[in-house]
Chains A and B, each alone.
Chain A
Amino acid sequence: MRKIKLLLLFLTCTLLSFQGNSQDMTVTGKITDEQGEPIIGASVIVKGTTRGSITDLEGNFSLRASRGEVLEVSFIGYAAQELEVTGESLSVSLREDITNLEEVIISGLASTVKRSNLANSVASISGKELSETTNQQTMDAALYGKFKGVNITSNSGAPGGGISVKLRGITSINGSNEPLYIIDGVYLDNSAISGGLNTVSKASGGGNQSNQDNPTNRIADIDPEDIEFVEILKGASAAAMYGSRASGGVIIITTKRGTSGKPKINFSQTVGISKILKPLGVREWDATKVETHFGVDEVANFQAAKSAGKLYDYEQDLYGNTGSQRTSRITLSGGNESTGYFVGATVKKDQGIVPNTGYSKNAFRLNLDHKLSDRIKLTTSTNYVKSSADRGFFNNDNSGTTMGIAFVATPAWAELHPDENGNYPNNPYAASNFLQTANLVTNNESVSRLISGATLTANLMQRDKSNLQLMVRGGLDNYTLETRAIFPNTLQFQKDGNGTGGASIQGTTTSANTNLAAFLIHDYYASPALTFRTQLGTTAENFNRNNIIGTATFLNGSQTNLDQSGSVAVSQSRLLQNDRGIFFQEEVNYNDMIIGTAGVRADKSSNNGDPNKLYYYPKGSVAINLHQMTDLSSAGISQLKLRTAYGQAGNFAVFGDKWSSLNPINIDGSAGLVISNTIGNENIKPERQSELEFGFDAGVLENKVALDFTYYIKSVDDLLLRAEVPTSTGQTVKVVNAASLENKGIEIGLNLNLINTEDFRWSSRTSLWQNRGLITRLDIPSYTTGGFADFLGQFRIKEGHSPTEIIGVGPADQQDEDGLVIFGNAEPNFQMSFMNNLSFKGFEFTMLWHWKNGGKNINLSALLSDLSGTSPDYDRIDLDPDSALGNGDYRLSQLGANSGPYIENAGYLRMREAGLFYTIPQSVLGDTFDRIRVGFSGYNLINFFEYRSYDPEVSNFGGKGLSTGVEVTPFPSSKRFNFHLTATF
């Protein structure tokens, strides 16, 4: 797999054809790995010049050089080496770079840099680590726990994903915290588009008016198995060149490409199952408890059900499905000297743990590279995805209809099972019979998406000391999302005058985003020791989205077409945005000892108050390789780099915040216009983030042990707030740039590669990271947000406090000047991940542990089940300080007076991934197969947490803003087991 690494090829192809005129001989050689296998596509460059070559199928190279010059040999995944030209023949074996100190990083928009010369802490992992340990359902799920400084939380366990990604803490309060995703140079749309379920759930009718549909983030469409490499630029110091969209960081994805050689076919098949992560159990009932919670009349019903053996475990009925999982994938790659190709196809079908939920995806990729001439190269990527997610009906509502809300309201003696004719009885304890809901409701998102990009690289001018390249890149991301929510009129909550006599809610969203960029890259080799690289580029991104949702009610019988109904309503919303940017960057490298970079980007956007006002984002960084200056090997130190970087980046206002609009409304067949809740701000400007980071990278024992440390200070000014205005204005919020916040944190990584023999190898990566946020300036009064009400726990935005601080009501002696009590912080104390890879002969064992220490959630599932007396821990006594009341009674006794009992520790320790694989020896295989690998793997297999619900990773409000960690009866998380078979031939 490692031999198909392409990043470097990409870099060096541009240098390939240079023919010098002052070299006195042809040097040839062979590059191999430690096992003596040839490395194809490794780069060999004469240091300080533009002369270079890449190795062929046999690992051979040939180039012109003179005695005394130094060759740099590198290939991704291997430690780079330098050697002096002493004769006409040179051979090198490269050592695998498990510690990742030597890999090549895409640091800027158009250029790459060796990690050893990088002044930023850029997190990166290979496709192998991303998706080879276990079968990943979606791209987002594959990222968990693998990057330091990255906080990824899933919003629920619903099939098809839905995550929130925060890089180095909160960077925006109302704007997006989500990073920018770029795949092969194409800007990816990562919207989460609501399916309009609010019509039925009425979730926005109560305390919080946000959409709680829990839609998928569209990044989930990307097939994780297509990915060669993922890099994360965590803040402005690394991402400044991406300007106004980079405040949340940038995630750069590079997909697999073909390399010259005979066609290689890779087939893999995965089958598995998914089960609920952690069943909570149900409360044990007796007559006294029944009378207390449901009244004396219910006791007879309970006794009757009990003697008939009809006390049901509804958790098992609703969440107990064993979902089948299967993924088939075939890839073909190869090429010749001028053309490389990679073709991949994936067919995936996963079932969820709730009946009738699941995820399926069919994806196809074609990546083509072609050298048009010695000087011009074209690379193209095309990806077509068709995916479909059935996500069930969960989360908050104000109609008692979601499966989760109805489930917690229903006691064990309720009879919800269908009769012999398939008719479901009404649930007397809730507005819906959730077994019926699970069986009859459709909540489907399906996507048809085409992502396509092309890059043309041309060497315009080359001299021995300098070289000028032009790179032109275009990309398009086009999709149609269809959401389909069908609530038949036979449902308890849609029949007999309830609800709306059935509802068919069908949405179509088309999104067409394009990006175009051109760069000039000039390299100047002033001397073998001193090189300059100058870049100038402009970028243009255009976004165009159109969302139309039709809602039909009073359905004609079992019909679901919008026109087969008594009433239809339509809504439409469009999003249009044009951005333009220009940037300049200068990089100076003195003998790989000191590497300095400075640059600036200027951006304008139709989203700003003034669309043609330029916003400037500067950056600068220095890396010092001490080991290049003096020999530290006597101290056992093979590499020691000090680095510091500073940069700025922006974050746009939410589309539409510029305007005070009149919204459409209807009364008795007449249209009307009504003022919107938001007072627009025509002077709105982007949020501005400044980040300073410094740290060191050290390698000892020939880089068998690598340690890196980073400290960062990231401050965000002009934070966009939806400042509350006095409600008597008739509107509720005004968008203002009115606050600043600061994140400080550390990231530590320790990579060990201590045992590396032919038969036995062990490597591990340990990461530790911590972030602390603080509101440093607030021009408006402090306020609470992100939940339902203060007494149920909310977040508070207050100067001098953390933006993720959770407050509530509580005893008078604990109240602060706002009359509120601080109960904790959603932000964890620290996080740690531990990746281990052991191989012995043909066996390979990998596991990834993830520990999140601390951080609190607001658990309103517990509240809702307490109110119905159904909490599994209702009778257990471990909360009441007086040890008198059961947990349920205790929590309820505090409701309204003390929010504490529902604000819980959401820390966890979990084995995210584990895999055991066996590669069948070549001797057994014969000639047909190159490689056959079989194995077992698991996802979320082992979990430790004290949180009193299905999973501490949860968000009722999706990934928006601050609102992670609020739980209201979500789709429970699952664990998965898989069997794998991979054959290469």
Chain B
Amino acid sequence: MKALKYILLSGLVTFFSCEIEDIPDPNNPSAADIAANAKLSDLQLLVSGTESLLRSEMGFYYDVLNIVGREQYFFTNSDPRYTGEILGKGASSLDNAGFYGTRPYAGRYIVVKNAHILIDAVNNTAESITAQEKNGYTGFAKTVQAYSLLLVLNMQYDNGIRVETYDPENLGPFLDYNGALTSISSLLDEAYGELNNAGDAFLFDLSSGFAGFDNPQNFAEFNRAIKARVALYSGDKAGALAALNNSFMDLGGDLNNGPQHFYSEAGTDLSNPLFRTRNASEALVAHPSYMADIRPSDKRRNKVSRRNNTAVLDGLSSDFDVDLFASPSSNIPIIRNEELILIYAEANIGTNNNEAVAALNIIRNAYGMPDYFGMPADDAVTNELLYNRRYSLFGEAHRWIDLRRHGKLDTLPLDRTDDDVWEKFPRPESEVGVQGG
């Protein structure tokens, strides 16, 4: 009997002491594995993933900047903040944990992170790819990183932003507005150098949103377009003109030419987050000043459409829907020739106002207006420029930034007593008090 007891005891212990196998993640590949040992197909997956991420949380970015810049309202029964904090209603102020600030912020830095993984994977891969081919990948990765950082900076403004974020345990310092612009500019230049040494073709494919910007040469032209915008924001007009020179700006060309965020309603792809049907009760509407201020013959009034009934919420109202996109599959432009022409015009103000006016006339004529006949003084041309930027880039999250850099935020209309126009969004709560934040 004793023997039986011991046999049973040892049986129990043996049963227990079998090793448990470590189960790998059954659902997803590991980030560390791919960064360390990527196949060529993995590199393509990371490129597509990074391009796809360029779209992440962009709906919030556009909505929020368009609302704070008094271009649009968003009337929804689901969230009071679109007509509350973002417009500074009553005593409310922006919350550093509010989705309107944190989600666009996160949406941009995840691009930076994914591009870092791509760069690591390219540098570590055992696949035989040439230095030129590697430059193609890294030129792409750094350009989209720089573009994403610029969008973060647009919202954070003089809070400054982190530019160096490779090591999550040792994040770089917060650079002030000008310092951040300088760093973004250098990153663009680094990418530009790589793209210029990347041969004739990328080893990877981009979506059709980048049609015409999908080899190292024309992708470099996109890089320079972003560079021109950064230079303009830095006040470096000469730098802007130089960058435009190597960009895809075409004074006689299609104003809408430029790379785009691809959208589709197919499968798991993303559909255009800004698209709304007309007369929807959950309404994305034009700020009333859009139609109040537009000049009679300006065809840009077609960017909005009159509603069957007035949209009303929270003491605000509008008769016009924003009508920029035809369908949920419409792409959203990243940067368009029209903006480049406007940058060209602005960069010429003060040094060559005639050239500036000539560029503005291209825009005016395109929308059914005659040549500019106002004063040629800097102020007057600047006002004409701002009018055209407002209407040409309506709904593309520019007006708020433009008025801020021209010191004219106080010209924005306040619709209710005690509303506020914010100058910037608070530094997200997750950055406060950690690693120098």
Contact = CB atoms under 8 A, between A and B. Distances in A.
Q: Do A and B come from one complex?
A: yes
Determine the main DSSP class of A at the interface with B: mixed
Contacts of A659: 25, 28, 30
Nearest to A426: B281
A729 B78 CA distance: 30
B27 A573 contact: yes
B50 A727 contact: no
A660 B269 contact: no
Interface residues of A, number: 106
B34 A727 contact: no
A675 B113 contact: yes
Interface string B14-48: 01101111110111111110100000001011111
B200 interface: no
B168 A398 contact: no
B27 A726 contact: no
Given A498-B277, A662-B31, A670-B48, A730 B20 contact: no
B291 interface: no
A536 B9 contact: yes
Interface in B42-80: 42, 44-53, 55, 76-80
A782 B111 CA distance: 28
Given A295-B312, A784-B97, A896-B93, A673 B12 contact: no
B127 interface: no
B110 A606 contact: no
B184 interface: no
B199 interface: no
B355 interface: no
Contacts, number: 294
B21 A611 contact: yes
Contacts of B81: 207, 789
A674 B26 contact: no
Contacts of B46: 672-673
A520 B97 contact: no
A730 B165 contact: yes
Contacts of A867: 77, 80, 313-314
B277 A496 contact: yes
Interface in A656-680: 656, 658-677, 679
Contact of A400 (B52, B77, B90): B77
B222 interface: no
A666 B269 contact: yes
A605 to B, nearest CB: 7
A405 B8 CA distance: 62
Contact of B76 (A398, A498, A724, A809): A398
B154 interface: no
B52 A661 contact: no
Given A405-B78, A668-B209, A400 B1 contact: no
A294 B77 CA distance: 13
Contacts of B90: 893, 895-897
Interface stretch (B295-303, B358-366, B376-384, B427-435): B427-435
A309 interface: no
A893 B416 CA distance: 13
A505 B277 CA distance: 23
A724 B85 CA distance: 24
Interface in B324-346: 327-328
Interface string B272-284: 0000010011100
Contacts of A893: 90
A726 B435 contact: yes
Contacts of B280: 431, 498
Given A461-B4, A566-B265, A791-B95, A728 B165 contact: yes
B124 to A, nearest CB: 15
A14 B168 CA distance: 61
B265 A730 contact: no
A431 B281 contact: yes
Interface string B400-437: 00000000000000000000000000001111011101
Residue of A396, A470, A577, A727 most packed against chain B (CB within 10 A): A727
A606 B435 contact: no
Interface string A542-580: 000000000001100000000000111111111111111
A39 B314 CA distance: 72
B317 interface: yes
Contact of A896 (B20, B89, B99): B89
Contacts of B435: 726
Residue of A427, A536, A573, A668 most packed against chain B (CB within 10 A): A668
A448 to B, nearest CB: 24
A726 B77 contact: no
Given A672-B45, A789-B98, A731 B168 contact: yes
B208 interface: yes
Contacts of B22: 606, 611
B322 to A, nearest CB: 14
B27 A672 contact: no
Contacts of B117: 662, 675
A164 B175 CA distance: 46
Contact of A895 (B52, B80, B433): B80
Interface string B101-134: 0100110011111101100000000000000000
Contacts of A653: none
A200 to B, nearest CB: 13
A671 B109 CA distance: 21
B23 A468 contact: no
Given A728-B165, A730-B116, A791-B85, A673 B431 contact: no
Contacts of A431: 77, 280-282
A428 interface: yes
B386 interface: no
Given A729-B113, A790-B97, A672 B51 contact: yes
B152 to A, nearest CB: 8
Contacts of B30: 659-662
A960 to B, nearest CB: 19
A498 to B, nearest CB: 5
Contacts of B97: 784, 789-790
B168 A671 contact: no
A518 interface: yes
A117 interface: no
B36 to A, nearest CB: 12
A553 B77 CA distance: 24
Contacts of B277: 496-498
B434 A399 contact: no
B357 to A, nearest CB: 40
B42 A673 contact: yes
A789 to B, nearest CB: 6
A942 B90 CA distance: 41
A945 interface: no
24 contacts: A207-B99, A295-B317, A396-B78, A398-B76, A536-B9, A540-B16, A578-B20, A580-B18, A604-B20, A661-B25, A661-B30, A662-B28, A666-B267, A667-B48, A668-B262, A674-B114, A677-B110, A726-B171, A727-B105, A728-B109, A728-B171, A729-B171, A730-B114, A867-B313
Interface of B: 1, 4-5, 8-9, 11-13, 15-16, 18-23, 25-32, 34, 42, 44-53, 55, 76-81, 84-85, 89-93, 95, 97-99, 102, 105-106, 109-114, 116-117, 161-162, 165, 168, 171, 205, 207-209, 262, 264-271, 277, 280-282, 309-310, 312-314, 317, 327-328, 428-431, 433-435, 437
Given A295-B310, A470-B8, A581-B16, 11 more contacts: A397-B78, A460-B5, A497-B328, A664-B28, A668-B262, A672-B51, A674-B53, A727-B431, A864-B80, A867-B77, A867-B80
Interface of A: 206-207, 293-295, 297-298, 396-400, 405-406, 408-409, 426-431, 460-461, 468, 470, 496-498, 500, 518, 520, 536-538, 540, 553-554, 566-582, 604-606, 611-612, 656, 658-677, 679, 724-732, 781, 783-784, 789-791, 809, 863-864, 867-868, 893, 895-897
Closest 10 interchain pairs by CB? Answer: A730-B113, A896-B92, A672-B49, A672-B48, A668-B207, A661-B28, A897-B91, A409-B77, A729-B168, A667-B52
